[in-house]
Amino acid sequence: MSANSVAAIGAMVVLAGLDFAGALLARRWAHGGSVVWFAAGALCFVLLFWVYGSSLRYADLVVVTFGWVGALQVGLLLVGRVGSTRPFPVHTWLAAGAIIVLEGVLIASANPG
């Protein structure tokens, strides 16, 4: 695996984390109205934009975007599982897996060779 691939994969995970954190901070701001939550959320999304733009030096737009979305999907499922006493049904995991596989097919077909 090349250094560019490692950087792109790292960026995808960081993008998913910033996206998730920014959404949680936006929710806190919407419910509480505190300027602190707003500023923290805005900073999260400014960082997200910077990481996204920087990651395009190492990978194509399609690859980074789909990797980001895939990492976010898996992360949301894992966070949802931690907060729940009941396990997710098997079809939920199968659907998430199918979405990620289909994203991979789209990436592979967009970048032949």
Which has the higher per-residue pLDDT, 112 or 31?
31
Domain housing 77: 3-110
Quickly tell me which residue has 């901070």 as its tokens. 25
Mean pLDDT value of segment 70-99: 80
Give the chain's domain count: 1
Rounded Cα distance, 41 and 24, in Å: 8
Report pLDDT digits (tens) over 38-74.
Answer: 999 999 999 999 999 998 888 888 788 888 888 888 8
Report pLDDT digits (tens) over 7-30.
Answer: 888 888 899 999 999 988 988 898
pTM of the model: 0.75
Q: Which pLDDT does position 87 carry in this prediction?
A: 75
Asked if 12 contacts 71 with a C-beta cutoff of 8 angstroms, the reply is: yes
Rounded Cα distance, 11 and 52, in Å: 7
